[in-house]
Amino acid sequence: MIISLENVTKTYPGGAHALHGISLSVDEGEFVFIVGDSGSGKSTLIRLLLKEIEPTSGEIYVNDRQLSRVRRKQIPRYRRNVGCVFQDFRLLKDRDVYDNIAFAQKVIGASGRTIRTKVPTMLSMVGLAEKYKSFPDELSGGEQQRVAIARALINNPRILLADEPTGNLDNNNAWEIMKLLDEINKRGTTVIVVTHNLEIVNAMRKRVIALKKGVLVSDSLHDEKTFR
């Protein structure tokens, strides 16, 4: 398995309970949806996997590493193997598409030669080869999300986390992004998608983990009745 949570609980300061005794595992190469109402703990789970926050109790293992043993200075290196895409894209507004994607390579000290090879490859993969000089505000929402996906994948992470990746997109663009994530998964990347979009969940028929008020209430291959 590539991800394992063992009895993980997260309580925020002030006593807000986000997760209660969550235990689950994800095998390498899986595509998993995480669903649940607002406040169910979905985004908290993503933040824990990114090591943005720490669990109150329990243990998390990612890529065979016990996250409680990953020191602060080691977190950037850990995150190279965990790409993440967000609902609001989080692109650098003052940089064009090429430089937004290249930025992730520069952070890890990749050579200029490597960057010049990998960025065009990623642009082609997400269907934006002709948009490399465009700035984020010149792109549609779907195109911006494609740039974000390319940036998340350029360092070849084993895991891609997508937190509401279609939340700001219309239906057509949402489906295009999901098709792209499915293709990325078929190439070997483990993909975990947090979403409210049950139409997409029901259509794609992947494994679905359902949370409710911080508790894992269902973990199975697609079962439409569970999520209504």
**Tens of pLDDT, residues 7-50:** 999 999 888 889 999 999 999 999 999 999 988 999 999 999 99
- Cβ neighbors of 124 (< 8 A, separation 6 or more) are none
- Summary mean pLDDT of the chain: 92
Nearest to 163, CA basis, from 177, 173, 176: 177
pLDDT at 220 (0 to 100): 85
Q: Packing angle between helix 112-125 and helix 141-153, nearest 10 degrees?
A: 140
The end-to-end CA distance of the chain, in Å, is: 29
CA dihedral of residues 46, 49, 53, 55 (deg, nearest 10)? 110
Strand, coil or helix: 58: strand
Token readout for 37 is: 């109402």
**Taking CA 84 as the corner, what is the angle to CA 13 and CA 109, rounded to the nearest 5 degrees?**
110
Q: What are phi and psi of 159, to 5 degrees?
A: -125, 135
- pTM beyond 0.85, yes or no: yes
pLDDT at 42 (0 to 100): 94
Bridge partners for 126 per DSSP: none
Residue type, 149: I
Q: What separation in angstroms does the CA of 131 have from each of 96, 99, 127?
A: 9, 12, 9
Residue found under tokens 């390319």: 150
pLDDT at 222 (0 to 100): 59
Enumerate the domain spans of the chain. Answer: 92-148
Q: What separation in angstroms does the CA of 70 have from each of 47, 48, 60, 79, 143?
A: 15, 12, 11, 11, 34
**Tens of pLDDT, residues 127-148:** 999 999 999 999 999 999 999 9
User: Under a CB-based contact definition with an 8 Å cutoff, are residues 39 and 25 in contact?
Assistant: no
